[in-house]
């Protein structure tokens, strides 16, 4: 089951948690005088799903999703919301998390500490090309562009809503930053001097393979929060307590 896509894993986890919760409540009602309420069943199912998710080694952000799924369904039913509201909510989530089930990369947003630390790594005296892969709302390249007039900045994002927001922000600022709506796996990273990523642990092995294959000697690869297993970084810059707030940088030494 660990080798299945995370979306199928999650479906099986929810089904297993539903069965376990139903069996537990049947035994409870059969051998005791207790008659649990539906909301109690939803909470127990959510706890079981979160525990199974942790046991399966899913990314940490799946745990609250598993826990909240059935209670959210129950609350929505109790609220008697109109049907169009469900469609609107689903469409909004789809626009922001277009391919998260396939790529296993949720929408992470970096902060000003990371941007400032990244700025310290960029050259000030020469021109360079920079790309943020999985650029979200475009904050990183838009922030850096005003500080590095010699740089050419780009971002790539596959989810429609963040990409559109990035384009609107760039147009509003009259920015030269180019925002692409493309999967970074289809790009040639050798076209860039600096590649920045804030993705997820699941994406790092394939990304590192692409980086090694495409990036030129002397170029720089920087990852926020997520290391590459078995690859010692050339620089480690802690931004706050904990590995989740750390920049990892590798200087490419192997020719493309």
The sheet with strand 235-238 has its strands ordered as 178-180, 151-156, 128-133, 194-197, 220-224, 246-251, 235-238
Domain of 159, in residue numbers: 112-251
Cβ–Cβ contacts within 10 Å for residue 75, how many?
Answer: 13
From residue 76, give the alpha-carbon distance in Å to each of 29, 69, 70, 97: 26, 11, 10, 21
| Per-residue pLDDT at 161 | 83
| Per-residue pLDDT at 256 | 44
70 and 171 share one domain? no
65 and 128 share one domain? no
User: Is residue 227 in some structural domain?
Assistant: yes
| Per-residue pLDDT at 26 | 86
End residue of a domain, out of 59, 80, 101:
80
pLDDT in tens, 121-158: 999 889 999 999 988 889 999 999 989 999 999 999 98
| Per-residue pLDDT at 125 | 86
What would the mean pLDDT of 21-50 be, rounded to a whole number? 85
pLDDT in tens, 212-227: 999 999 999 999 988 8
End residue of a domain, out of 24, 57, 80:
80
71 and 160 share one domain? no
What is the model's pTM? 0.67
């Amino acid at each position: 089951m660990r080798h299945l896509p995370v979306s199928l894993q999650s479906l099986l986890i929810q089904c297993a948690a539903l069965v376990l919760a139903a069996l537990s409540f049947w035994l409870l009602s059969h051998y005791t005088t207790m008659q649990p309420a539906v909301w109690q069943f939803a909470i127990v199912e959510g706890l079981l799903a979160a525990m199974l998710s942790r046991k399966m080694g899913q990314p940490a952000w799946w745990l609250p999703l598993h826990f909240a799924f059935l209670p959210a369904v129950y609350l929505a039913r109790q609220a008697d919301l109109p049907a169009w509201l469900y469609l609107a909510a689903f469409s909004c989530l789809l626009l922001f998390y277009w391919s998260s089930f396939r790529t296993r990369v949720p929408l992470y947003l970096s902060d000003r500490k990371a941007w400032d630390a990244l700025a310290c790594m960029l050259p000030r005296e020469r021109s360079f090309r920079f790309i943020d892969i999985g650029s979200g709302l475009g904050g990183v390249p838009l922030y850096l562009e005003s500080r590095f007039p010699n740089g050419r900045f780009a971002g790539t994002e596959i989810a429609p809503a963040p990409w559109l927001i990035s384009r609107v922000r760039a147009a509003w600022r009259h920015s030269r930053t180019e925002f692409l709506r493309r999967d970074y796996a289809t790009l040639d990273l050798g076209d860039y001097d600096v590649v920045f990523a804030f993705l997820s642990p699941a994406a790092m092995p394939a990304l590192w393979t692409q980086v090694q294959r495409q990036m030129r000697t002397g170029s720089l690869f920087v990852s926020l929060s997520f290391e590459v297993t078995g690859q010692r970084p050339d620089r480690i810059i802690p931004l706050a307590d904990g590995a989740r707030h750390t920049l990892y940088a590798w200087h490419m030494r192997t020719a493309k």
